[in-house]
Amino acid sequence: MNFKNLIVSVIFIGSLISCSNTSETRTIRLGHGLDVSHSVHIAMVKMGEDLEQISGGKMRVMIYPSQQLGTERECLELLQIGSLDMTKVSVGVLENFAPDLRVLGLPFLFRDREHSFRVLDGPLGQRLLDEGEKYWLKGLGYYDAGSRSFYTKDKPINTPDDLKGQKIRVMESVTAMNMVTDLGGSATPISWGELYTALQQGVVDGAENNPPSFYLSRHYEVAKYYTLDEHTVLPDVLLTGTHLWNELSEQEQKWLKQAVDNSVIYQRKLWLEAENEALEAVQKAGVEIIRPDKTLFSEKTKASLEKYKDDPEFYKMIQEIQATE
């Protein structure tokens, strides 16, 4: 039996145990890939506490962090077959399951953090959350994951030209791969859990992510240049499988959604603090923070947005985002 099948078996047995206690407490199993000190994990802990309180003890959340149940992609697959109840994934990974969500991963599409929140919390954001239902994935809310920027081992990135010949780790996301290619780099998909070693051994020359992830993963120990080009504002998405969602009563759905909404507000506040702390900490550890001319990067990716004119419905979403005030 391979590792993934073993995980499915363990969770399935757990689900049988949970189901046997449904008359008292419904236990929701949530797996994710982040460290327990990450703001997203802390927000999910609050979500679980709120859910237990709101439901009067009728619902609770059991969290499995740090890829205990597999990578983000594997957790999504477990959701689809009903062997896991909830997970948190980056939109960059989710786009492989619900293609319209790739619009959120396009480079330099959002003007700033506030603009992204207005889109995510508005009608388009809700439509994109609903998009996953046809793939057995029910989106419940967006967590802030800040802006993603490049970090490298041996060569600072001051302009897109500096990316030429550099192998840059990206998520399993066609959108992310296209972006790195447009900027002149060589996109290399590698799982998050394998990235530290890949940097250390020179499998890749760098990666791209937000400041807290760069810091908490300890990648700053290997990569000493961090270029804040902020090419994408890529949110995390909290999801449940439709297997669980359709099994919940209307009251249980309301309780869960309320707990998620509360945790989104809480996490976005935590994120700002974590971002500032992370940048300060990596600087103290000897990382050079580079603040480049972002227009040099955004100009290189403009043409990629125009390519989507061949897909009128998708291009309409791009225009809707750009038009959001």
Q: What does the pLDDT look like over 36-63, one tens digit per residue? A: 999 999 999 999 999 999 999 999 999 9
The pLDDT confidence band at residue 20, using thresholds 50, 70 and 90, is very low
Structure tokens at 120: 């995510």
Mean pLDDT of 75-103: 95
Mean pLDDT of 208-224: 96
CATH class for the domain made up of 147-233+286-320:
alpha beta
The full set of domain ranges for the chain reads 3-144+235-275, 147-233+286-320
Structure tokens at 244: 């669980």
Alpha carbons 258 and 47: distance in angstroms, whole number: 9
Mean pLDDT of 16-30: 68
Percent of the chain with pLDDT over 70: 93
Q: Residue 114, Cα to own-chain centre: how many angstroms?
A: 18
The pLDDT confidence band at residue 242, using thresholds 50, 70 and 90, is very high
Q: What is the pLDDT of residue 17?
A: 41
Is 305's pLDDT higher than 90?
no
pTM recorded for the entire structure: 0.86
Q: What is the pLDDT of residue 228?
A: 98
The pLDDT confidence band at residue 16, using thresholds 50, 70 and 90, is very low
Within the chain, strands assigned E span 26-31, 59-64, 86-90, 137-143, 147-152, 167-170, 186-189, 206-209, 225-233, 236-241, 288-290
Q: What is the pLDDT of residue 18?
A: 45
Q: Which residues have a Cβ under 8 Å from the Cβ of 106 and sit 6 or more positions away?
A: 175, 179, 232, 304, 305, 318
Q: What is the pLDDT of residue 9?
A: 47
Q: What is the pLDDT of residue 23?
A: 55
8 Å CB contact between 253 and 247: no
Mean pLDDT of 159-169: 97
Mean pLDDT of 90-109: 94
The pLDDT confidence band at residue 155, using thresholds 50, 70 and 90, is very high
Q: Residue 251, Cα to own-chain centre: how many angstroms?
A: 28
The pLDDT confidence band at residue 156, using thresholds 50, 70 and 90, is very high
- Of 4-13, 155-164, 203-212, the poorest mean pLDDT is in 4-13
Q: What is the pLDDT of residue 158?
A: 98
Domain 3-144+235-275 adopts which CATH fold? D-Maltodextrin-Binding Protein; domain 2 (3.40.190)
Strand partners, 59: 26
